[in-house]
Each structure stands twice: as structure tokens, then as C-alpha cells.
Structure 1
Amino acid sequence: MKLSFQDYISIKIHKTDLLLTGFIKSRLEPYNLAPEQNLIMMLLWERDGLTQNQMVQMLNKDKTNIARMASNLEKKGFIKRSQSEEDKRVIQIFLTSEGKKLGDKIIPIAEQFNELVCKGLSEEELTELERLLSKMSSNIQSE
């Protein structure tokens, strides 16, 4: 039996992703922050001084993409990149004072967004959703 356009799970996930990204983009715009850039900032608000390579791993993005986003964030004055003292080949990323202050505004927005997205879902459902998404990712990575 042939699937219709609406039956593909990848289409449903894509539509949801577009909706989520559009929503958070509108909330971040007043702060001159794109959703992708916000991912880097969220990591740094949790643990300042990460290396670009650590971010590549954590965000599952390529080095060029991370370097470009970091460059844009540096131009905005939110972060500062510097060579590691131990290994000059390693680039560490640190929040500036402006970047730290931005967290006081953005983290509550991210928490409200997460609450909205998860509204009506039980802990069990969230755990199952994480398991299913992991399984789907694993299926693709094993190909």
C-alpha cells in the first residue's frame, strides 16, 4: 500500500519542526538571536568555555557551521573566541558580559517555550518520545 503525503512520519516531524522553529524565532528576534545561534548560547550558559569541537559534537553540526555561528555571535558581542592555553589549535568560546546578561532574558523564554511544547504530555510520554526520536535517529545513522 502506497503512503500518501500526510502519512509519512518524516513529513509530520518536519512540519512540527517548522512550527517550533518559527515560534521560537519570533521570540528571539527582539534580542538579535537566531534559533541556531541560541543553541550555542544555551550550551555556554550551561557551561562557559566550551571548545568549538565540543559544540560540534553536542549539536551534531559540522565545524564550518559552528565556526560561522560563533563568528556571528562574536560580531554581536555575545561571545569571545580564544585559543586554548594548553593547545593553540583548540578554540574555546566564552560568554562576554553582554552574553551573560542576555541569558537572564533568553533562558526564561526557552523555559516557557519548553513548557508550552510539553503541555499536556506526561513524564512517561516525554520519555517515550525521546526514545522514539532516538530510535529514528539511530536508524538513519546506521544506514
Structure 2
Amino acid sequence: MNADTKAPAPGHELLLDNQVCFALHSTSLLMTKVYKPLLQALGLTYPQYLAMLVLWEQDGLTVGEISQHLLTDPGSLTPLLKRLEAEGLLKRTRSREDERVVLVHLTDQGRALHTKAQSVPPCILAASGQTVERLQQLQRDLLELRTNLQKSL
């Protein structure tokens, strides 16, 4: 170590600003704050928006499949889906083959909302102050981190 290089202070690894988890957590909080007014214009909360993204990508999934995509528990997803159904955006039906399985299908109104939601990504890009390429790299890095964390469990 040369004279210009300072050794980290003892306990530096426990400083809040040195925590990757806090950087992710605080960024996530701010990201959802940026999304909030955009999604309010669509009549959606952030968790509802995520569920709709899954269904816009592939309609007719089971509650369990949607839950897998969102990395959440199916039981916590049910109230959210009930609210979306009450808003007329989707329809839940029991499978004819297995009544324990609930299928989720978009309604015409839910499909039409997809067009309105097209305005959200450009607003998020603008708010980020980043290029599309930089955000894509960040997403790849985060997905790699998520995969590694999943493997550690």
C-alpha cells in the first residue's frame, strides 16, 4: 500500500452506504415512486402492473404460473387478482380438468390497457437519466445477481 492509499476504516463493511442490499432497496423504493403517478393514470398499483405485464406477455396462465413469473407466493397474488377482476381487467376461472387450478384471462378492457401502458417505459427511461443500453446492461447484471442469490438458498 502506498502513502496515497488509505486502508478502509474498521467496520467499513457495515456502513449503510457500503451495502449492496441498501442500494438495491433504496433504488427500488424510488423506482416505484416514479412509477406511481404513471400507473395511477392507468388505474393500477405497481404490483398490479407487474401481474398485467405477465398476462400481456402470455394470456391464460394459471395463478401458480403468474406467481412463478413474479417470484411470489400464489396466496399473496390472489387478492391482487381479485381486485383486477373487480376492475374488469381479467377473468378468473377454475380449470375443467382440475378445479384446484385457477386460470387467468385478460378481458377486452385488460387487453386495451396494454396500449395505454405503452407510454410508461419511455417515461421511466427519461426519469432514469440513462441510455437504453446502460439500463439493459444493468438489468443483465441484476438478473445474474438474482440467479446467484437463488442458487445460494
TM range (shorter): 0.7 to 0.9
* Corresponding residue SS for 2:98: coil
Greater alpha carbon shift after TM alignment, 131-140 vs 95-104: 131-140
Q: Sequence identity, in percent?
A: 30
Q: Which residues in structure 2 correspond to 1:110-121 (within 5 Å)?
A: 110-113=120-123, 115-116=125-126, 117=128, 119-120=130-131
TM-score, with structure 2 as normaliser: 0.80
* Corresponding residue SS for 1:103: helix
For 2:5, the equivalent position in structure 1 comes to none
Match of 2:17 among 6, 29, 51: 6
* Corresponding residue SS for 1:56: helix
For 1:47, the equivalent position in structure 2 comes to 58
- Alpha-carbon distance change, 122 to 31 in structure 1, aligned in 2, over 3 angstroms: closer
Amino acid at match of 2:60: G
* Distance (Å, rounded) in 1 between the aligned partners of 2:129 and 2:41: 24
User: Runs ≥4 in structure 1, deviation > 4 angstroms?
Assistant: none
TM-score, with structure 1 as normaliser: 0.85
For 1:77, the equivalent position in structure 2 comes to 88
For 2:145, the equivalent position in structure 1 comes to 136
Displacement of 1:126 after TM fit?
Answer: 2.9
Q: CA RMSD in A?
A: 2.1
- Alpha-carbon distance change, 18 to 100 in structure 1, aligned in 2, over 3 angstroms: same
1:51-92 superposed Cα distances (whole Å, 9 cap, x missing partner):
101011111000111111101111111111001233222111
- Aligned residue pairs total 140
Which segments of 5 or more consecutive residues in structure 2 lack a partner in the other structure? 1-9
* Distance (Å, rounded) in 2 between the aligned partners of 1:90 and 1:118: 43
* Distance (Å, rounded) in 2 between the aligned partners of 1:86 and 1:115: 43
